[in-house]
Homo-oligomer: A and B are copies of this chain.
Amino acid sequence: MTNNDADGQGGQGGEPTAQDIAWPQGFVAHAGHAGVRQSGDDVSIIASERPAVSAAVFTQSRFAGPSVLVSRRHAASQRLRAIVTVASNANVATGAEGERNAAELVGLVGRMLDIPAEEVLISSTGVIGRQLPMPPLREHLGAAREFDAGPFAVAGAMMTTDTHAKVSSRTVGGARIVGVAKGVGMIEPDMATMLAYLVTDAEVGPIELDNALRSAVDRTFNCLSVDTDTSTSDTVALLANGAAGPVDPDAFAEAVHAVCLELTEQLARDGEGATKLLRVVVEGAASPAQAKRIAKSVLNSPLVKTAVHGADPNWGRVVMAVGKNTQHPEDLAITPEKTTVRFGAMEVYPRATEEEQLARLVEIMRQDEVEIGVTLGLGEDTATVFGCDLSDGYVRINADYTT
């Protein structure tokens, strides 16, 4: 619990493993089975025992669901104190009835915790276009419940097609930050990602908290894409209850970033059907926006993703994915002469065409993490984005999701 290495990985360097991570001081949680899905926990509540300040970002989708609409209103005051998540039904495209249902659920949670409904954030995640099964949810949330669940259990209760729970933790001064996240399909977050919650016992002001979260999200969850499909339910929230007292603001922001980054890489690696983490780094761009645009273009190319999946040394697809950007005037400055491409540390364009080089490239592409680097030679800006390979597993998972 004393690891200050913000770049370390959970489970290394003294951090507890995901299963053993505990909530920061003053936070408790419930995870249970209400019956939204046939088996397994499907409802969770994270709550602060004392008032908290909060920051939150949500999907920009024009089809943001009723749960997001309710949560967005509640988050505006930056006084969120509890988060309830319903897994396996998105409550999206459900109209006025869906909004009444979301309002009823936060009311039930507020009564259970004896706090105003306006201090409860609600997320729902799963299939779109079906009303929430209210009778079992009313029964589950209408009664007193045990608040004995750790972060790993809560992250488990949030999962849909995730194959494992995502948890990350960092220590900052005398305080801790714990994050949980879910979401491995319909993932190309716009202003936030699927569902990720961070809680901390650090004492942080609302503006500082908001800045730390937005800055981290912009470089982590917003740089993640599994399949270019932006969810209607994306939500990231950070609650701080101050139980551990004040901490250094820069160290706090850095630790928030580290937790978001670790969760982002966990989500990417567990992308639907994924067998590998794919990281694309663009350097030498004329603007940060160009760097991210080109990086996303490579990251999202189905041909690059399938080549990475099969360790096919077909690096020409990367230059294709760079070259296809022609809509933004800035990108017309991209030329084959100024561009270089590398896989890991191995430069492949303009150089690698010998059989021996291609054999080395296959070895690099067989690792469970593949990093593709592109330099544009146009400026000084950079971007790093996170995704995964495209496998037949993705197709299998999504060809019969609801049936």
Which residues of A line the B interface, CB within 8 A? 60-64, 90, 92-93, 95, 127-131, 185-186, 188, 190, 227-232, 300-303, 306-307, 309-310, 312-317, 319-326, 331-332, 334-336, 339, 349-350, 352-353, 362, 390-392, 394-403
Query: What number of copies of this chain does the assembly contain?
Result: 2
Instruction: Using A131-B353, A322-B63 as known contacts, say yes or no to A402 and B302 having CB atoms under 8 A apart.
Output: no
Partner of A309 from B129, B229, B319, B395 at Cβ < 8 Å:
B395
Tell me the smallest distance from the CB of A303 to a CB of chain B, in Å.
5
In the bound assembly, the distance between CA atoms of A339 and B130 in angstroms comes to 17
Partner of A228 from B188, B300, B315, B339 at Cβ < 8 Å:
B300
In the bound assembly, the distance between CA atoms of A400 and B303 in angstroms comes to 10
Tell me the smallest distance from the CB of A201 to a CB of chain B, in Å.
35
In the bound assembly, the distance between CA atoms of A332 and B64 in angstroms comes to 12
Interface of A is mostly: loop
In the bound assembly, the distance between CA atoms of A324 and B187 in angstroms comes to 11
Closest residue of chain B to A335 (Cβ to Cβ) is B62
Inter-chain contacts of A90 with B (CB < 8 A) = 316
Closest residue of chain B to A308 (Cβ to Cβ) is B399
Inter-chain contacts of A321 with B (CB < 8 A) = 229
Q: Known pairs A128-B317, A312-B402, A392-B396. 15 more at Cβ < 8 A?
A: A62-B336, A63-B320, A63-B336, A92-B316, A92-B320, A129-B315, A190-B326, A227-B302, A232-B320, A232-B323, A306-B394, A306-B399, A310-B398, A312-B398, A314-B401
Are B320 and A399 within 8 A (Cβ)? no
Tell me the smallest distance from the CB of A37 to a CB of chain B, in Å.
16
Tell me the smallest distance from the CB of A190 to a CB of chain B, in Å.
6
Are A95 and B336 within 8 A (Cβ)? yes
Inter-chain contacts of A300 with B (CB < 8 A) = 228
Instruction: Using A228-B302, A399-B307 as known contacts, say yes or no to A127 and B316 having CB atoms under 8 A apart.
Output: yes
Instruction: Using A312-B400, A314-B402, A399-B309 as known contacts, say yes or no to A320 and B231 having CB atoms under 8 A apart.
Output: yes
Tell me the smallest distance from the CB of A350 to a CB of chain B, in Å.
7
Q: Which 9 A-B pairs have the closest CB atoms?
A: A128-B316, A310-B399, A63-B323, A392-B392, A306-B398, A230-B324, A129-B316, A61-B323, A62-B323
Inter-chain contacts of A190 with B (CB < 8 A) = 324, 326
Tell me the smallest distance from the CB of A127 to a CB of chain B, in Å.
6
21 contacts between A and B (CB under 8 A): A61-B323, A62-B332, A62-B335, A63-B322, A63-B339, A92-B316, A93-B319, A93-B336, A95-B336, A129-B315, A131-B353, A186-B317, A228-B228, A230-B320, A306-B395, A306-B397, A309-B395, A312-B403, A313-B403, A390-B395, A391-B395
In the bound assembly, the distance between CA atoms of A322 and B87 in angstroms comes to 23
In the bound assembly, the distance between CA atoms of A231 and B303 in angstroms comes to 11
Are B302 and A398 within 8 A (Cβ)? yes
Inter-chain contacts of A323 with B (CB < 8 A) = 61-64, 230, 232
Closest residue of chain B to A358 (Cβ to Cβ) is B402
Tell me the smallest distance from the CB of A209 to a CB of chain B, in Å.
25
In the bound assembly, the distance between CA atoms of A399 and B275 in angstroms comes to 13
Instruction: Using A61-B323, A303-B185, A319-B63 as known contacts, say yes or no to A395 and B395 having CB atoms under 8 A apart.
Output: yes
Are A353 and B129 within 8 A (Cβ)? yes
Tell me the smallest distance from the CB of A327 to a CB of chain B, in Å.
8
Inter-chain contacts of A186 with B (CB < 8 A) = 303, 317, 320
Tell me the smallest distance from the CB of A189 to a CB of chain B, in Å.
10
Partner of A128 from B128, B319, B396 at Cβ < 8 Å:
B319
Inter-chain contacts of A336 with B (CB < 8 A) = 62-63, 93, 95
